[in-house]
Amino acid sequence: MSHRVHTAIDSPLGTLTMVAADGALAGLYMQRHRHQPPPETFGERDPAPFARVIEQLTEYFDGARTTFDLPLAEQGTPFQRVVWAALGDIPYGETVSYGQLAERIGRPTASRAVGLANGKNPVSIIVPCHRVVGAGGDLTGYGGGIERKRYLLDFERGRDCAPAGYDAAPARVG
């Protein structure tokens, strides 16, 4: 079993809880995040392993970072891991549909399975599952809630993005 620790920070999306397993980021969860593991599995509170994560999130929310470079320890099925890896190839500020993502991973008839795997992404924002939309461009489910998905997409597109529908915190991370 891995050594797990966690910490929490404020962000424009509200409180973000980060979980590390053996020093690598294993989870980044928002308040009331769907598919979040029970808090008792997060380990003790220890902010030490998260300095680089916090730095990169701060740069992201300041508009100075469009990609992340962090060691990850995502736990999932082989199929989920393929989907999560493909999410990292979606450019900042752009979206793809679940069907397009299924095609990108060589499974063109698996759009529903891609949607399920996308919804189980344990490392929100950093693994950009918010960039996947419905076939017609509609904002469909998001583990952190549709309002947060809308915020992230508007933010990445340089649009005015007033937080709404969740407990927002100050605009600075850290």
pLDDT digits (tens, 9 = 90+) for 48-81: 999 999 999 999 999 999 999 999 998 999 999 9
Which residue is associated with the tokens 């962000």? 11
Catalytic site includes residue 129: yes
Chain centroid to Cα 125, Å, comes to 3
Q: Point out the catalytic residue in the list 72, 102, 129, 132.
A: 129
Eight-state DSSP code of residue 123: B
Q: H-helix or E-strand containing 86?
A: helix 78-87
pLDDT digits (tens, 9 = 90+) for 116-149: 999 999 999 999 999 999 888 888 878 788 889 9
Q: Please, what is the average pLDDT of the chain?
A: 88
Q: H-helix or E-strand containing 51?
A: helix 51-61
Residues of the chain with pLDDT > 90: what percent?
Answer: 70
- Determine the pLDDT at residue 162: 57
pLDDT digits (tens, 9 = 90+) for 143-166: 788 889 999 999 999 876 655 444
Backbone angles phi, psi at 72, to 5 degrees: -115, 150
**Between 33 and 30, the higher pLDDT residue:** 30
Question: How many whole angstroms separate alpha carbon 38 and alpha carbon 83?
Answer: 24
